[in-house]
A and B are shown apart, each in its own frame.
Chain A
Amino acid sequence: MNLRRDVFQAIADPTRRAILLLVASQTLTAGAIAANFDTARPTVSKHLQILTECELLTQQQTGREIHYHINAKKMKEVADFIEPFRQMWDDRFNKLESIMKNYKPKK
C-alpha cells in the first residue's frame, strides 16, 4: 500500500486533527501525546509518523525523549486555501512535463 503523504491525508483523520490541536499549544513527547488517547500506543506512533512526514510536526531529540513541535509554517499553508488549488495545478503541470519529455512526434 503506497499512500501519498499529503496534508489532506493528515487532516482527514480525526485522531490526527486531535494530535495537532494538542501539540499546537505545547511541545510534547510521544508518550504524553499517547496518554491523551484510548488508542494503542503503536497506532498513535503511526499517526505521529504520518504528521511528521507531512511536515505538520517536527521532531526534536532531547536525551532519550523525542519531543514533537507543530510546524506553524506548514499549518499556515494548510489554512491558506490557495495551496490546494496551487497543488492541483502543480500536479497537472508536473504530469504535462513528464508526458512531453517522452513525447515523440507522429510521422
Chain B
Amino acid sequence: MELKTKVNAEDGMQDLTITREFDLPLELVFKAFTEPELIEQWMGTKVLKFEGKKFGGWQFETSDPKGNVVFKADGVIHEFTPNKRITRTFEMAGVPFGVQLEVSEFEALTDATSRLNMHVIFESGAQRDEQLKLPFKQGINWAHNRLEEIVSKLK
C-alpha cells in the first residue's frame, strides 16, 4: 500500500522532507495550518500565539493531565503566502536540538485533493537524528506507561 505520509532523511544530511497528500482541497489544508483552534485539534497542543504574517511569531505548549508542561516550542514567521507557502523557524524548549528552518509548501492536485511538502533544515545532521529518534523514545515510554496502567488495574 502506498503510504500517505512520507519522510525522507538521507544519511549524513542535515535536513529532511515530509510529504503528504490530503483528501482535502488546498484551502482547507492551509486553514488547518493557520487557525489556532484547528491547529490545537490536530497537533494536540495549546496554541499560545500564532500570528499568520511576515514577522509574526508563534508559540505552542502542551501540558499533561496534571498540568505539567511537557512540550514547548516557538519561532518566527518569515514568509506567509496564503494557500502557498509558510516559512518559519522552530525551536523546542529544553532539548539540545537547536533551531530549525521549516519551509511548508501547499499545492492543489485537483479541486478536492492537495499536497503538502515540508522541508526542515537543522543546524547539523546529529541534531536532525536526535530529533528523529524522539517519537521512538516517547513511543516506548508510552507503551510502558500504558502497560503499567493496565497492570495496576489488574492488581
User: Chain A residues in contact with chain B, CB under 8 A?
Assistant: 1, 3, 6, 8-9, 11-13, 81-82, 84-90, 92-97, 99-101, 103
Could you name 19 residue pairs across A and B whose Cβ atoms are closer than 8 Å? A8-B140, A8-B142, A8-B143, A12-B140, A12-B143, A13-B147, A85-B7, A85-B136, A86-B3, A88-B135, A89-B5, A89-B18, A90-B20, A92-B43, A93-B20, A93-B22, A95-B41, A95-B42, A100-B32
A1 touching B150, Cβ below 8 Å: yes
> Does A81 contact B136, Cβ atoms closer than 8 Å?
yes
Mark each residue of chain B from 103 to 124: 1 if its CB lies under 8 Å from any CB of chain A, else 0: 0000000000000100000000
Decide: A81 near B4, CB < 8 A? Known: A99-B41, A101-B24. no
In the assembly, what is the distance between CA of A60 and CA of B139, in Å? 30
Contact of B5 (CB < 8 Å), options: A1, A12, A93, A100 = A93
In the complex, how many angstroms separate the beta carbon of A90 from the nearest chain B beta carbon?
4
Determine the residue in chain B with the shortest Cβ distance to A103.
B28
> Which B residues have a C-beta under 8 Å from some C-beta of A?
3-7, 9, 18, 20, 22-24, 28-29, 31-32, 38, 41-44, 116, 129, 132-136, 139-140, 142-144, 146-147, 150
Measured CB to CB, the nearest residue on chain A to B143 is A12
Interchain residue pairs A-B with the least CB separation, the first 10: A12-B143, A90-B5, A96-B42, A8-B139, A84-B136, A86-B7, A88-B135, A8-B143, A95-B42, A84-B135
Chain B residues closer than 8 Å to A97, beta-carbon distance: 22-24
- For residue B18, give the distance in angstroms from its CB to the closest CB of chain A: 6
Q: Taking chain A's interface residues, is the majority helix, strand, or loop, or is none over half, making it mixed? A: helix
Checking A8, A81, A89, A100 against B31 with a beta-carbon cut-off of 8 angstroms, the contacting residue is A100
| Chain A residues closer than 8 Å to B43, beta-carbon distance | 92
How near does chain B come to A85, taking the closest CB pair, in angstroms?
Answer: 5
**Partner pick for B6 among A86, A96, A101, CB 8 A cutoff:** A86
**Residue pair B18, A81 in contact (C-beta under 8 Å):** no
A94 partner residues in chain B, CB cutoff 8 A: 4
Query: Knowing A92-B42, A100-B31 touch, does A85 contact B144 (C-beta < 8 A)?
Result: no
Q: What residues of chain A lie closer than 8 Å to B3, measured between beta carbons?
A: 86, 90
